Structure 1
Amino acid sequence: MQLYAIGINHQTAPLEVREKVAFRTDTLEQALRDLVDHRPVTEAAILSTCNRTEVYCNTDQPDEAVRWLAGYHRLTTAALEPYLYQLPREQAVKHAFRVASGLDSMVVGEPQILGQFKEAVRSAQKAGTLGVLLHKLFQRTFRVAKEVRSRTDIGANSVSMAAAAVRLALRIFPSIGEQAVLFIGAGEMIDLCAAHFSAHRPRRMTVANRTLDRAASLAARLKCQAITLNELPEYLAQHDIVVTCTASPLPLLGKGLVERAVRARKHRPMFMVDLAVPRDVEPEVGELDDVFLYTVDDLAEIVQEGMDARRGAVAQAEAIIDTNVVSFMEWLGARQMVPMIRALRDQAERQRRHELERALKALARGEDPARVVEALSRALTNKLLHAPSHALSHASPEDRERLLELIHRLYQVRHPQ
């Protein structure tokens, strides 16, 4: 078995592809069990965010994991492969370290990805699909991410997605303080966006969510109104800014619904930011006059601001990661020797038991204990040294020096000069 990281991200695939392979949180555990139960995969974890879907697995047939990923989302492997990366062994280790440290994010240095990674591991633990290899990998991954955060300024001067949404809004409206803002969803990303927008004191804010309780909790902190998703047709036209990020598998805001809202607004501009993957807003909405629709990919240019100031921190982080990759691969190499070590010990134990039984029988017959112990020790010595002695005696001229060096390393015996 081998370690592999298989997936797509914002660098390899456009949003319309990423949303097709995104996993819903409530189906993730069953998906993991399906992968491990029906494929030659012994361990697996899935990281699925707005910018990436990645499968970390222990397998010697990564193509089977690719076929499963495509099939699970009712895609052909041919449709998925142009956007896919398959990273084996140390490449997979380095990738995991970079992702958790925020180096592979659209917002370089953003902290949310580490929490998302930890949540992915918790899902794998609940599904029972983590083994020794992935458990060790992820524990080291989190430790590396913490070291990068504490020893570098990777998070300094970064522009978050939430801050980028505010900056885009200010390109459309001279002041957010004069606008009404609608937040759709009540998760971490909406919470962050709400904090950034509320700092500009909008004229009015509303939180919409599938369950009213979660919407009410966020609305209470913002001191604003909470509604359900079913009420969106009634309230949409009353808002100038719409920020949405839910886990809905289908769009919540279709072209017809937004078109009616624009007419009701008498064509006053409406600014919409869709941070969900899959998208909450139908792409055709962006074709409407007076609607300014942005997705996570559209925010890429803004979130890169401040990157120049962080280049030194990125170089430091890469050095930390490279050192830890070497250390992890050393552990993995040692781990792969465990079966051979176990086989050696099993063989030695069989020889020990055999000679012990002979000695006990000799004692039972009344033989001299001193002679029995002497015979036991000689027999064990001969058996343990037979294989290396035979190898040395029958070594070809070209193998002798190598064997002598190995004997020295194994038994700490110097070749007599």
Structure 2
Amino acid sequence: MNLLVLGINHQTAPLAVRERLAFAQTELSEALTTLHALPGISEAAILSTCNRTELYVNAREVGPVLDWFAASRGRSAHELVPHLYQFGGEAAARHAFRVAAGLDSMVLGETQILGQLKEAERIARESGSLGVLLNGLFQRAFQVAKEVRSETRIGAASVSMAAAAVRLAERLYPSVAECRVLFIGAGEMIELCAAHFCAQRPRAVAVANRTLERGARLAQQYGGQTMLLPDLAERMAEFDIVVSCTAAPLAIVGKGMVERALKRRKHKPIFIVDLAVPRDVEPEVAELPDAYLYTVDDLAEVVSEGVAARASEAQAAELLVEDGVQQFRQWLAGRALVPTIRELKDHAERIARHELARARKRIAAGEPADDVLARLTEQLAAKLLHAPLAALNAAPPEEQAELVAATRRIFRLHE
């Protein structure tokens, strides 16, 4: 098995490293094309989220994959190695199943990662870099995740990033209901955050996005306003809570923008949650005395609450993962037999076609059909059994017992 996984996550690398190694959604297809084109790499998929970047490949060696990963991010392999993990074979399958089931997430049992993994599979498939091995891996990962969600309660008490952001805001403000909330972006994470914050019935809601159309769809759900990203500098001072998660490659909220907003607010504090990787908000914003900036890593303390209570559910989920690994192992073993099975069928069909052609000639020459059919069956049996009988007769004494047992099993010969 040439299955390899190479990656970083929130456990092995800080946010400052993860954001430098992340892939934007728009560059995944081209990245997969170049990775898949490397010698020795027959399949490839890339999973890149706020908490992890992972390469799934069908490759003989990990070295070329590591070198490509580093070069594609403008880094040296030496810089990446301290933060990387790698898995091969069954360990790689186990890791993929744990990721899909939310067992390797910052939020234990969270469900968003499954959708992100499905999106990674879709992009790889459409890019032409998905083959039999990775397709089989991902399909079984999706099945394991489904079983974990239906047979355990691991996600029942989990605290999502969105819910954690609300909890942190409530530490600064007595009530979110008295606050004005601004969402920057209109993707899935912002939709989740909007649902949690707007459940508290804030005084006002606004959505800033690159395009008005998508931002308007989200804003309308909660009776909010819509603005474009260039409007942020002028309107930032209106809001008490800012939640940002876009796919922008560079920060869109700078220290100067927030500093000017605080002055206009007469230094009334602003609570900012930056859930983007790479970050949407310059880290220097945290230096401002009245700005309270939180990133995905800062939410770890809140989202870890309840982990102990879900420990038994996590154990049950791990057992389902191991069942999935065993099934994947059996599937791989079956795939290894495919070439032999195909050759065996081709061999039998060639013999059958040849003998059928001879039989038709004899019938055309006037031979009785019954005689031709009897001869046909004799020749088919003789030619199909020729190779196994020859192998049995030629086997050395020390191999005969094993070969005889295998032959009797294959042909279902009863004692």
TM-score for both structures, normalised by structure 2: 0.91
* Residue equivalent to 1:261: 261
In structure 2, what residue type is equivalent to 1:413? L
The equivalent of 1:123 in structure 2 is 123
Distance (whole Å) between structure 1 residues aligned to residue 368 and residue 166 of structure 2: 93
Aligned to 2:4, the other structure's residue is in SS state strand
Q: Aligned residue for 2:22?
A: 22
Aligned equivalent of 1:324: 324
3-state SS of the aligned residue for 2:20?
A: coil
Question: How is 1:7-406 mapped onto 2 (pairs within 5 angstroms)?
Answer: 7-357=7-357, 376-406=376-406
Task: Please list the CA deviations of residues 88-138 of structure 1 after superposition, one character each: whole Å capped at 9, or x if unmatched.
Answer: 232222222222221111111112112222222222233233333333332
Q: 2-side partners of 1:327 and 1:84: how far apart? A: 28
Q: Percent identity?
A: 56
Deviations 1:158-178 (A, max 9, x none): 111111111112222233233
**AA paired with 1:85?**
Y
CA distance in 2, matches of 1:373, 1:225: 84
- Once residues 338 and 370 of structure 2 are traced to their aligned partners in structure 1, the CA distance between those partners, rounded to angstroms, is 37
SS at structure 2 position matched to 1:183? strand
Q: How far apart, CA to CA, are the structure 2 residues paired with 1:136 and 1:414? A: 37
- SS at 2:8 equivalent: strand
Partner Cα separation in structure 2 for residue 409 and residue 60 of structure 1: 35
SS in 2 for 1:284: helix
Q: Secondary structure at the match of 2:21?
A: coil
Equivalent-residue separation in structure 1 for 2:233 and 2:33 (angstroms)? 39
Q: Quick one: distance in 2 between partners of 1:168 and 1:111?
A: 21
> Which whole-Å CA distance do the structure 1 matches of 2:357 and 2:194 have between them?
77
Task: Judge conservation of contact 1:216–1:226 (CA < 8 Å) in 2.
Answer: yes
Alpha-carbon distance between aligned partners in 1 of 2:201 and 2:351, rounded to the nearest angstrom:
81
Q: Which amino acid aligns with 1:131?
A: G
Quickly say closer, same or farther: Cα 1:364–1:201, change in 2 above 3 A: closer
Superposition deviation, residue 55 in structure 1 = 2.3
Cα distance in structure 2, aligned partners of 1:228 and 1:99: 35
Give the AA of the match of 2:315: A
**Gap change, CA 1:216 and 1:352, over 3 Å in 2:** closer
Greater CA drift, 295-304 or 251-260: 251-260
What amino acid sits opposite 2:324 in the alignment? N
Deviations 1:128-161 (A, max 9, x none): 3333333333233222222211121111111111
Aligned length: 415
Query: What secondary structure, in the 3-state scheme, does the structure 1 residue paired with 2:50 have?
Result: coil
Counterpart secondary structure, 1:337: helix
Q: Which moved more, 1:375-384 or 1:149-158?
A: 375-384
**CA distance change for structure 1 residues 261 and 39 in 2, over 3 Å: closer, same or farther?**
farther
Q: Letter of the aligned partner of 1:178 in structure 2?
A: E
Change (3 A) 1:369 1:163: closer
Question: Aligned partners of 1:134, 1:164: CA distance in 2, in Å?
Answer: 34
In the aligned structure 2, how far is the partner of 1:60 from the partner of 1:351?
Answer: 37
- Cα drift, residue 276 of structure 1: 0.3
Write the distance in 1 (CA, Å) between the matches of 2:224 and 2:356: 82
- Report the RMSD for the aligned CA atoms in angstroms: 2.5
Secondary structure of the corresponding residue to residue 34 of structure 1: helix
C-alpha distance in structure 2 between counterparts of 1:221 and 1:386, whole Å:
75
* 1:293/1:39 CA distance change after superposition, 3 Å: farther
Whether the 8 Å contact between 1:39 and 1:65 is mirrored in structure 2 is no
Q: Which ranges in structure 1 are unaligned for 5 or more consecutive residues?
A: none
Deviation at 1:398, TM superposition (A): 3.0
Q: How many Å apart are 1:30 and its aligned residue?
A: 2.6
| SS of residue paired to 1:13 | coil
CA distance in 2: counterparts of 1:198 and 1:230, whole angstroms = 24
Instruction: Spell out, residue by residue over 1:58-79, the C-alpha distance to the aligned partner (whole angstroms, 9 max, x if none).
Output: 3334433333222222222222
